[in-house]
Structure 1
Amino acid sequence: MPSTVRVVILDTGTRRGLADSAYNERRAACERTADEFRVKALRDISLAEFENRASDLDETTRKRVRHVITENERTVRAAESLRCGDVKTFGQLMVESHFSLRDDFEVSSPALDAMVEIARSQPGCLGARMTGAGFGGCAVALVDAQVAQSFAQNVAEQYRRQTGHEPAVYISRARDGAEIVAEE
Structure 2
Amino acid sequence: MKSDLEHKFFEHYNQHPEKIYFSPGRVNLIGEHIDYNGGLVMPCAVTMGTWLLVAPNRNGELRFKSGNFEEEYTVALQSGYAKTGGEWYNYPLGVFNEILKEKRINYGLDLMYFGNIPIGSGLSSSASIEVVTAYALNDLFNFDYDKLELVLLSQKVENEFMGVNCGIMDQFAVAFGERNKAIVLNCDSLDYKLVNCNLGDYLLAIINTNKPRKLAESKYNERVEECKRALEDLNKEIKVNHLCELNAEKFALHSHLIENETILKRAIHVIKENDRVHLAAKALSENNLAEFGRLMFASHQSLKDFYEVTGIELDTVVDFCSQYPGVVGARMTGAGFGGCAIALVQKGTEEDFAIKLNDFYISKIGYSPTVYLSEIGHGASAI
| C-alpha distance in structure 2 between counterparts of 1:44 and 1:82, whole Å | 23
| C-alpha distance in structure 1 between counterparts of 2:205 and 2:368, whole Å | 16
Of 244, 256, 259, 1:43 maps to 244
Query: Is contact 1:16-1:137 (8 Å) kept?
Result: yes
Please name the residue that 2:273 is paired with.
71
When normalised by structure 1's length, the TM-score is 0.90
Of 352, 359, 366, 1:150 maps to 352
Query: Is contact 1:126-1:142 (8 Å) kept?
Result: yes
Please name the residue that 2:231 is paired with.
34
AA at the equivalent of 2:217: D
Per the TM alignment, residue 150 of structure 1 is displaced from its structure 2 partner at its CA by 1.6
The 5 Å alignment of 1:2-151 reads 2-35=199-232, 36-37=234-235, 38-57=239-258, 58-151=260-353
Per the TM alignment, residue 33 of structure 1 is displaced from its structure 2 partner at its CA by 2.6
Query: Is contact 1:152-1:171 (8 Å) kept?
Result: no
What is the alpha-carbon root mean square deviation over aligned residues? 1.8
Please name the residue that 2:169 is paired with.
none
Query: Is contact 1:67-1:100 (8 Å) kept?
Result: yes
Query: Is contact 2:213-2:339 (8 Å) kept?
Result: yes
| C-alpha distance in structure 2 between counterparts of 1:149 and 1:90, whole Å | 23
List per-residue Cα deviations over 1:59-78 (Å, max 9, x = no partner): 11110000011000001111
Per the TM alignment, residue 2 of structure 1 is displaced from its structure 2 partner at its CA by 2.5
SS in 1 for 2:211: coil
Paired residues in the alignment total 179
| C-alpha distance in structure 1 between counterparts of 2:206 and 2:216, whole Å | 21
Per the TM alignment, residue 127 of structure 1 is displaced from its structure 2 partner at its CA by 1.0
Is 1:163 aligned with 2:368? no
Query: Is contact 2:283-2:292 (8 Å) kept?
Result: yes
Larger Rg: 2
Per the TM alignment, residue 101 of structure 1 is displaced from its structure 2 partner at its CA by 0.1
Q: Structure 2 stretches of 5 or more lacking a match?
A: 1-197
| C-alpha distance in structure 2 between counterparts of 1:113 and 1:30, whole Å | 23
Q: Structure 1 stretches of 5 or more lacking a match?
A: 180-184
List per-residue Cα deviations over 1:93-135 (Å, max 9, x = no partner): 0000000000000101011111110122112110111111011
AA at the equivalent of 1:116: V
Identity, % of aligned pairs? Answer: 38
Higher relative CO (Cα under 8 Å, sequence separation at least 6) belongs to: 1
Query: Is contact 2:310-2:337 (8 Å) kept?
Result: yes
AA at the equivalent of 1:56: L
The worse-fitting range, judged by mean Cα deviation, of 27-36 and 75-84 is 27-36
Query: Is contact 2:229-2:263 (8 Å) kept?
Result: no
Query: Is contact 1:12-1:165 (8 Å) kept?
Result: no
By percentage of residues, which structure has more strand? 2
Structure 1 segments of 4+ aligned residues over 2 angstroms from their partners: 31-38
By percentage of residues, which structure has more helix? 1
Query: Is contact 1:3-1:173 (8 Å) kept?
Result: no
Query: Is contact 2:203-2:345 (8 Å) kept?
Result: yes
Query: Is contact 2:209-2:370 (8 Å) kept?
Result: yes
| C-alpha distance in structure 2 between counterparts of 1:115 and 1:2, whole Å | 21
Please name the residue that 1:182 is paired with.
none
Per the TM alignment, residue 178 of structure 1 is displaced from its structure 2 partner at its CA by 4.5
| C-alpha distance in structure 1 between counterparts of 2:369 and 2:221, whole Å | 27
Query: Is contact 2:207-2:372 (8 Å) kept?
Result: yes
SS in 2 for 1:146: coil
The worse-fitting range, judged by mean Cα deviation, of 22-31 and 90-99 is 22-31
